[in-house]
Amino acid sequence: MIMAEMQPVKITETILRDAHQSLCATRMRISQMLPQLEALDEIGFNALEAWGGATFDTCLRFLDEDPWERLDTLKKHLKKTPIQMLLRGQNLLGYNHYSDDVVRAFVRKASEHGVRVFRIFDALNDIQNLRTSIDEALKCKEKPHVQGCLVYTVSPYHTNETFVELAKELEKMGCHSVCIKDMSGLLKPYVAEDLVKKLKAAIKVPIELHTHYTSGFGSMTYLKAIEAGVDIIDTALAPFACDTSQPCTETMIETLKESPRDTKLDRQKLIPVSKHFTQVKQDLIKEFNLKGYFDVNPNVLDFQIPGGMLSNLTNQLKEQGMEDKYQDLLDEMPRVRADLGYPPLVTPSSQIVGSMATFNVMFGRYKMVPKEFKDLARGKFGHTPKPISRDFLHSIGIQDSEIITDCAVEDAKEKTMAQFRDELAEKGYENAPEEDVLSYALFPQVAEEFFKKNLRSISTNKAKKLLGELLQIDDANELKKHLHDTLDN
């Protein structure tokens, strides 16, 4: 083993983001994180993944939290360890392609609020969808670490060699490190060893490996990657580890103890932290009626659903009384993926393929085709690894004129910051801070409901009008009713 490969393995801890996204549908609140933030900060992790992914949507939709305020709180309490976020390139944290000015504004604001590691990926590994976010992150005055991702998947169109070529492109774009993002636990131990060796020979920047335990490969894959020289691994504290989450932090620390790649981290310091999150997990399972655990399932090699999606999908099926359709859904996923040109299944492609598979199981194959599926099929999100046949596109109602070519990709993007700001002003939210405009840009209906519920400012004219109406009401009950009606509207 060469000297560079004998450095301590660094660990990125995922307890504050991917771990609870994978096992508890992203329902952990900032109040449940707060008691252990300082303790986590003292451990010596490479980074704490704590923002991005599904957290932004969940904060607004389910937890009545402002995601920007959550980030501010994390920044206040994490003084030593970089806060890492997961960003979906041109998709940001939503489910559309956003205009370049929206992407740039979002990256700048995230950096200002405390993100110090941007992990940036694209669901299709389309380099064009990564350029704007990577470029802007590199320009941020806070000088964050910018990490580009290889979204790992298995298909007739993906090889270790194709991933190495993508890694070279990411390095040329200025990325400070490259992450092998194995969101479904598909990376086998010896394949990981080969991939890491090839990457080490091809690029000079550090290599991080992110995997999920869904298939049962997790810890073995990490060990072979470590032997091949990987620099950083992602792990989760024991209460939120394994199953569809990451391999266990404490176990990996002990595995490497007194070895040439010893992490130098103190497992004993994690004992009280894990005790706290054991209780948090129990509380989440009870409050949200979650399953909270998943059996290892080697068949993920076929259906390829990411760990973070499995917990949400199971919860949604349970809510809809369709738990008995779970296996049918898993069987349909690879068929839909093949029809769609073998995209890696990661947000948003995983949700789009999952929704289509669900509709196929419920109503018959392609009897009802969501708009998002047609958009992915016609090229709105970029190129799929295998070109989709015109016959299939026609069969789901897509005409040749709707197929997006390279020169038309820009036209497929969403509105600009100015347009979103104008929309908010028309709804009564004049002079909204840029953070609120960005929240609205990503999740218009959800954000607007959040603004109403949390009494975000309305326009001066509307406020004057409301005040005038209130001053004319003498009866207390009538005044109360008018206020309630106003808030409801």
Q: Which of helix, strand or coil describes residue 4? A: helix
How much is the pTM? 0.87
Q: How far apart are CA 481 and CA 489, in angstroms?
A: 12
Q: What is the pLDDT of residues 449-489, one digit of tens each?
A: 999 998 776 554 556 566 667 677 777 677 667 666 765 65
Within 8 A by CB and 6+ apart from 472, the residues are none
**Residue 132 in contact with residue 103, Cβ under 8 Å?**
yes
In the block, residue with structure tokens 């990256």? 107
Q: How far apart are CA 149 and CA 130, in angstroms?
A: 9
Q: Which of helix, strand or coil describes residue 455? A: coil
Within 8 A by CB and 6+ apart from 30, the residues are 65, 70, 73, 74
Tokens for 318, please give them. Answer: 């349970």
Query: What average pLDDT does this structure show over 202-223?
Result: 97
Band the pLDDT of 152: cuts 50, 70, 90: very high
Tokens for 422, please give them. Answer: 């104008």
Total residue count of the chain as it appears in this document: 489
All domains in the chain, ordered by first residue:
10-288 (3.20.20.70), 305-411 (1.10.472.90), 436-488 (no CATH)
Q: What is the pLDDT of residues 55-101, one digit of tens each?
A: 999 999 999 999 999 999 999 999 999 999 999 999 999 988 899 99
Q: What is the pLDDT of residues 314-366, one digit of tens each?
A: 666 777 787 788 888 888 989 999 999 999 888 888 888 988 988 898 889 99
In the block, residue with structure tokens 């999740």? 443
